[in-house]
Chains A and B, each alone.
Chain A
Amino acid sequence: MIQITGLTKVHRGGGPPVLLDLTFEARPGAVTALLGPEGAGKSTALRLMLELERGRGVTLFAGRTYRRLRRPEREVGVLLSGPVDAPGAADLAGHPGRKARGHLRMLAAAVGVPARRADELLERTRLAAVAEQRLRAYSPGMHRRLALAAALLGEPGTLLLDAPTEGLSPRNVEWFHAFLRSFAADGGTVLVTTRTPQEASQLADRVVTLDRGRMAADESVTEFRRTRLSPEVAVRGPQMARLADLLAGQGAQVRRDGGTELAVSGVGRTEIGELAYRHGILLHELADRVVERPAPRADLRVVASGPGRPRTPEAAAAPVPEDARAATTEQAEQAERAERAERAERAGQVGQHDRTVAMPVARPRALAAAARDAEPAPTLALPVAPPPAGGSSALTAPVASAAPGPRRGARAVTRRAVEAAEAVEAVGGPGEAAGTAWPGRRGGGRREDETSPVVAVDRLFRDGLTGLARSAQAPAAASKAEAHERPGEAADGLLGDDTVRLGRVTRPQPDRADRPAPDRPVPHRSASPGAAPAGPVVPVTSDLRSE
C-alpha cells in the first residue's frame, strides 16, 4: 500500500510547478499506472516519493516514509529510468564492464541476501544464459530486466517502476506486463509510469492521469478504457462514400480518413461486412482498432494565481487542497463534458438555450417570482409548449438515440429527461402527464446511476431543457439575452459542480441534499446547507435526497 499525499514540486527559479498536489493511493494486489505525456511530472512524482528530490508532500509505504524504512530494499523495489545527472548511463543497469552475475551478487551483498538469490533472479528474469557476459553487451531489454532483478533482490512487496517498458521490444514489453501482472496477483503493490494509454489499459488496474503536473483523472481501468479509448473499425475500399451513407443510415458514426478509408464506430465489424456484402460494395480492409481520445487537460484556472504572475515558489506551491482537488476532479470531467456536449447535439431537437426555463428553478423563490414577472417569455414558454405527452416523448427520443452509445450517455440522458420533467413540475407547468410519467423513468435512472457524477446531470439538465424552450419557440430576444449571460455562468458552474461532486464522493447523502439547483449562478461552495432554496425548488431537492 502506497499512500501519496500532496506531492508538490516547484523549481527554485520559479516557473509553473512541475507537480502540484498529487494525491492518490496504490493498493496491494493491483497495478497502478501513472499516465502522462513527456514532462507531465511522472518521474518527478516517483523521485519525490522516494525523497530523491526536494519537494513537498508525504508518501507512506506501509505507514512509513521511504527514508524511515528500516531496510528499504526489502520493502520497496525501485527501478528508475536512469539518474538525471548522468544521462549517458540512463539505460544501463550497472557498470558496463561488469558481468551480470557479479553485478547482482554485489547488490545482494549490499541488500544483505545470500548470493544464490542473485542466481535465482537471473533465472527468473531469463538472464541465466547470459549471466557471464559483460553488461556492455546487453540490449536495452536485458538491461531493464537486470535492473528489475536488482530491484527484486530483497523480495519487496512493493514495486516502483519508472517507465519499465519504455523503448523495449514488444516481446520484452509483453514479458514485463506478464511479470508485473503476476506480481500484483500475488498481492504485491505495483506502481508504474507510462506514456501510452494503451499500455496503461493493458497493464493497470487503476490509472492516474497526469497533465502538466496536475492530476487529470484517477479512475479504474474499465472507466479509463471507456473514457480514453474507443473501439472503432477501419474500413478501406473504392466505394467508401456509398458505404458511409449506408452506415450513417444504420446509425453509425462515420469519419473519413483520407479518400479511401473510413473510421466507423457504433457498428460492429461483422455488421459492416454484411452490409457491404449485401450492397455489393468491395472492401479492401476491415479491421478493428482502438483509438485514443485526447487526454483530459488539467484546468489551470484554479491555480491562476500561480502560473500567470511572477511569483515566489511559496505562492505557486502553496497547496490549496480544495481548489486543487476540485481542479483535478473537474479535469476528469472535461472529456465527459465534451462527450456530453456532442451527445446533446446529436440528440436532435435538443437545443442550447434552456436557461430561460431553468433559471427560476435555481433561484430562491422571491427571485424566481421576480424573474417570472420580468421575463414573461420563459414562463409562457412552458404552457405554450407541446402537450405533456408530446413533451415526454420528445424527451424520450434522446434516450433512444443515445442507446447505442456508451452506458453513461444513456444514463445521463435518462437523468436529463427526469430532471427536465422535474423542472417542468417545479416551474408549475402543466406537468400532469410528465409527473406521472417520470417516477418510473426515475427508477430506471437510479438503477443505472450508481456511479454517475452529479455534474453530468446538471450539465445535461441545462441542455435538456433547452429543447423544450426551443420547441416552444421562445422569443429570440430572450434566448439571445441568455446567450449573453452564459459564459460567466458556465465557468462558475464548472467549479461549483465539481466541488459538489467531490462532496458527493466523500459524503454522499448530506451533500446530495445540499446540492444547489443546477443553474445557480453563484459558486456552490458558498452555499451552506441551510441556504437550500425554498418554494418551487423544494420538490427538486427532496427528490434528489430520495435518490
Chain B
Amino acid sequence: MRVLAYELRRVRGLRSTWLLLGLVVVCDAVVAGVLAGQVGDRTLGGAAAVRLLTAAVPLVPLPFAALGAGVLGALAYGHEVRHRGLAASQVSYPRRVRLLTAKLAVTGALAALLALVTLLIDAVTVHFALPAGVTVAAWSDPAALSARVAEALAQSGPGGLVDVLPPVAAPLALVAGQGAPAALLAFVLLVVVAGWTGVLTAALTRSATAGVLLLCALPPLLESAVALVLRQSGTPWPARAAELLPFPSGIEWAYGWVYGGDGRVAGGGVLSAAPALTDPALLAAAVAPVLVLLLVTLVVQARRRAL
C-alpha cells in the first residue's frame, strides 16, 4: 500500500504527467477532427468510425493514446532510476518487485483512463466535425441506440456517464451498432498494454528514452510474429495483412482485426466483434509480449542491486 501511495504521489506531483496527458488528448482530438472532415462517403461504416474515434493515423506504429501511455510508463521507471529519492531503499528484491507492481498498476489505471477520455473527446470532436450529409450507420437505428450505448459504456468502463453526458454519449453510439464496443474495448486494452510495455522496456534498459524507442519498435516486430503465429495455427489471417507486412498494417493489426482485419469487410456488413476478442490466439498475441517482458524484467531485477 505504501508503494502505491508513493507512486500515486509521484505521478501526481509531476507536471510532465499532466502535460503529456493533455498533449495526447489534444492531439487525438485534432487528428480525429481532421479525419472526420475528410470523410467523403455518405455513410460512415463501423471500421471507419472506430478509426475516427481512436484517431488512428497510418504509419504511426501506435495510436496516440497508446504512445502517450507508453511514454508515461517509461518515465515512471526512468525517473526512478535517474532521480531516485531514497538512495538505497530498493536494495532488496521483494521491495523492488513491489514497486514495479505499483508502477504497473498505476500506469495501467492511468492508461485506461486516458483511453476512455480520448474516446470521449474524439467522439465529441467527430460529432461536430463530421461534414453535413454524412450519415452514420448507427444513427439509422435509434431504437437500438440507447441499449447499445448503455452496453458499450458498461463494457468499456463507467456506465454512469450516460446520464451525466447524454450529448457526449450520443456520438459514441455511432459505432455502437457495428459491434464497436468490442473494438473500443480492444483499444482500451491496447493502450493499457502499451503503458505496461513502456514501464517494462524502461525497466529493462534503465532509461526512459530507450524504453520509449523499444516500445515504438515493438509493434512492427510483433506484427510479423503474430502473423506468423496465426498462419501456423491455421486461424484465417487476411491475405492482405500479409501483403502489407511488415509495417503499415500496424494499425490494422492493432484493432483492424476486431473487424476481421479488413476495412472493406467491416464497411460492407456487420461482423460480430465478440468472437474476435475472445479468440484466444488474438488475446494471447496482445498480452503475450507484456507477459514475456514482465518475466524478463523480473529475472533481470533479480540480478540487479537497485532499480
Residues of chain A at the chain B interface (Cβ within 8 Å): 50-54, 66-68, 72-73, 76, 78-80, 83, 85-86, 89, 92-99, 102-103, 105-107, 109-112, 150-151
Contacts and interface: CB of A to CB of B under 8 A. Distances in A.
B240 interface: no
Contacts of A151: 86-87
B92 interface: yes
7 contacts: A72-B89, A76-B88, A83-B84, A97-B14, A102-B9, A106-B9, A110-B3
Nearest to B81: A86
Contacts, number: 90
B16 interface: yes
A18 to B, nearest CB: 16
The residue in B9, B82, B88, B89 that gathers the most chain A C-beta atoms within 10 A of its C-beta is B88
A66 B91 contact: yes
Given A95-B79, A95-B83, A78 B88 contact: yes
B85 to A, nearest CB: 5
Contacts of A107: 6, 85-86
B305 A103 contact: no
B228 to A, nearest CB: 37
B148 interface: no
Interface string B62-94: 000000000000000001011111111101100
Nearest to B80: A95
Contacts of B13: 98-99, 102-103, 105-106
A85 B205 CA distance: 12
Nearest to B10: A106
Interface in B163-216: 206
Given A52-B91, A72-B89, A78-B87, 19 more contacts: A51-B305, A53-B305, A79-B87, A83-B306, A85-B81, A85-B206, A86-B82, A92-B83, A102-B13, A103-B85, A106-B9, A106-B13, A106-B85, A107-B85, A109-B2, A109-B6, A110-B6, A150-B85, A151-B87
Contacts of B85: 93-94, 103, 106-107, 110, 150
A306 to B, nearest CB: 25
Contacts of A97: 14-16
Contacts of A52: 87-88, 91, 305-306
B5 interface: yes
Contacts of A79: 87
Given A106-B9, A106-B13, A109-B6, A94 B83 contact: yes
Nearest to B305: A52
Contact of A110 (B83, B86, B305): B86
A107 B83 CA distance: 12
B253 to A, nearest CB: 36
A50 B84 contact: no
B5 to A, nearest CB: 4
Interface of B: 2-3, 5-6, 8-10, 13-16, 79, 81-89, 91-92, 206, 305-306
A80 B16 CA distance: 26
Given A52-B306, A107-B6, A150 B83 contact: no
B207 to A, nearest CB: 9
B86 A109 contact: no
Contact of A89 (B2, B82, B89): B82
Contacts of B10: 106
Nearest to A112: B2
Contacts of B305: 51-54
A12 to B, nearest CB: 14
Contacts of A53: 305
A97 B10 CA distance: 11
The residue in A54, A83, A92 that gathers the most chain B C-beta atoms within 10 A of its C-beta is A83
Contact of A98 (B6, B14, B84): B14
A67 B92 contact: yes
A108 to B, nearest CB: 9
Contacts of B89: 72-73, 78, 110-111
Contact of B88 (A50, A68, A99): A50
Contacts of B14: 95, 97-98
A124 B13 CA distance: 23
Contacts of A105: 9, 13
A157 to B, nearest CB: 16
Contacts of A96: 83
Given A53-B305, A106-B9, A72 B15 contact: no
A50 B89 CA distance: 9
A106 B6 contact: yes
B209 to A, nearest CB: 12
Contacts of B206: 85
A111 B86 contact: yes
Nearest to A71: B89
Contacts of B91: 50-52, 66-67, 72
Contacts of A150: 85-86
Contacts of B6: 106-107, 109-110
Contacts of A66: 88, 91
A7 B200 CA distance: 34
A109 B99 CA distance: 12
Nearest to B13: A102
A86 B82 CA distance: 6
Nearest to A86: B82
Contacts of A80: 87-88
Contacts of A72: 88-89, 91
Given A97-B16, A98-B13, A106-B6, A89 B83 contact: yes
A97 B14 CA distance: 6
A260 B16 CA distance: 61
Contacts of B79: 95
A236 B79 CA distance: 56
A66 B92 CA distance: 9
A344 B9 CA distance: 68
A490 B39 CA distance: 96
Q: Which 6 A-B pairs have the closest CB atoms?
A: A110-B6, A102-B13, A106-B9, A109-B5, A80-B87, A95-B83
B86 A73 contact: yes
A430 to B, nearest CB: 69
Contacts of B9: 102, 105-106, 109
A51 B85 CA distance: 17
A97 to B, nearest CB: 5
A105 B9 CA distance: 8
Contacts of A106: 6, 9-10, 13, 85
A482 B40 CA distance: 110
Contacts of A99: 13
B124 to A, nearest CB: 31
Contacts of B82: 83, 86, 89, 95
B96 to A, nearest CB: 11
B66 to A, nearest CB: 24
